[in-house]
Structure 1
């Protein structure tokens, strides 16, 4: 595995408002990205980049408390297509990507759309709204290399911009180099580790089938979505986690397994029974002493 390399992003807010449209550029990348609040779509469509081909993502919260709803598409031009999506009620933010030098074409965009849809399906971190899956098209060898290179850079930008629907856990080999924490409860058990996006639980973890009566309906809905996506498999005696999966926090991970409200910082413990909370406090104390 190639080690992660440091990289730099330039973030520009043309309106001067912190919650306004943001423009992102990455060092040595010919692409450019836009984070567009729905209320400021007009500001994007008036820019020259909106007349180019590209790929976009619409994202919005699930009112029932489940994973964010996401729609992935491609367009030429981007601006006109995003305006047509005003008929969709669910989205609050659009992420749009195109090239600065105009080399990205319609075929590149279609390839990117298909790849992003596939990545979102595999990651299972969102509720995908696409009724029709992206078409996998045949590209010339050089065009495919260019599109895949563009995709790599785009995927580096997304988490920094707060969009994590394409991310997948680093995998068990990487997990073995981290401190593992364990959780046990009635009909529930699992092991996992702290990860950049929250807390990753390893494949094979067991979850209690039914939530307690006092559990938040939002948690019940969230886990039902994970079952429908195939993240959890319904088996005799409980649920089984079908893949390594990154939850947004240690508490969410604990709640999904224990089927009750839980503080993940105290539920997750290492092999000696030391809680995640104690480890975090020791790390914070050590950092303050070194400062």
Structure 2
């Protein structure tokens, strides 16, 4: 079967590529934002960022110089706060001063509940670990929760679209590295865990192309 093209809409919210970007796809209810850490306060009036969703914090490790990512979820709260409030909490947290921009996923119809965001957080963490391209800053492995096969099929479709969007926004967190050892035919190097400043386990990747 021939691969079909995808129509992606990128809206430069600040009129420049280095600013905030809103990303949508045709026939997809998902909405993604790339938000520089310094631009969080500009998002206060966006109602869709007060919803539930999953987010990624991207940055660089001070110790290793490697690309790092933290993957989390945020549920909408009774006070009307959701994703943006959680990002602002991370901005104030000195243990998470490594990140420079966030990518968040939510929906245009506010359809995410706790079941959906727990499943997506688990799947995104698994995909990022399998790709072995970024050091994962999550201290614990998020639980997937219990879902029906119908809901799983629906969410896997969301994951497929999210992977396309993430690459479009400039982060290859889901794209596996090709190691030098794999190309040469020698035994692959194994990634080794190390500990960040807060003591939680993260994972370093082997040298790769």
Q: Calculate the TM-score normalised by the size of structure 1.
A: 0.59
* SS class of match (2:99): coil
Write the deviation string for residues 26-52 of structure 1: whole angstroms up to 9, x where unpaired: 111110100000000122343111111
| Per-residue deviation, 1:16 | 1.7
Aligned counterpart, 2:146 = 138
Aligned counterpart, 1:72 = 71
| Per-residue deviation, 1:129 | 0.6
Write the deviation string for residues 166-222 of structure 1: whole angstroms up to 9, x where unpaired: 11269xxxxxxxxxxxxxxxxxx85xxxxxxxxxx5374369xxxxxxxxxxxxxxx
Aligned counterpart, 2:58 = 59
Q: Which runs of 5+ in 2 are unaligned?
A: 76-81, 194-202
* SS class of match (1:131): coil
Measured in 1, the distance between the counterparts of 2:71 and 2:184 equals 28
Measured in 1, the distance between the counterparts of 2:173 and 2:13 equals 26
Measured in 2, the distance between the counterparts of 1:90 and 1:167 equals 22
C-alpha contact (below 8 Å) 1:67/1:125 kept by paired residues: no
* SS class of match (1:92): strand
C-alpha contact (below 8 Å) 2:134/2:204 kept by paired residues: no
- Bigger relative contact order, structure 1 or 2 (CA pairs below 8 A, ≥6 apart): 2
C-alpha contact (below 8 Å) 1:45/1:80 kept by paired residues: no
Aligned counterpart, 1:37 = 36
Seen in structure 2, the aligned counterparts of structure 1 residues 108 and 203 have a Cα distance that, compared at 3 Å, is: farther
Q: What are the residue-to-residue correspondences of 1:77-116 with 2, within 5 Å? A: 77-86=82-91, 87=93, 88-116=96-124
Q: Based on CA coordinates, which of the two structures has the bigger radius of gyration?
A: 1
Seen in structure 2, the aligned counterparts of structure 1 residues 231 and 65 have a Cα distance that, compared at 3 Å, is: closer
Answer 1 or 2: which has greater helix percent.
Answer: 1
C-alpha contact (below 8 Å) 2:48/2:110 kept by paired residues: no
* SS class of match (2:86): helix
Measured in 2, the distance between the counterparts of 1:129 and 1:39 equals 21
Q: Which runs of 5+ in 1 are unaligned?
A: 171-188, 191-200, 208-222, 233-244, 248-252, 254-291
Number of aligned residues: 190
Aligned counterpart, 1:118 = 126
Aligned counterpart, 2:25 = 26
- Which residue of 173, 179, 186 corresponds with 1:205? 186
| Per-residue deviation, 1:19 | 1.4
Q: Calculate the TM-score normalised by the size of structure 2.
A: 0.81
Measured in 1, the distance between the counterparts of 2:153 and 2:185 equals 36
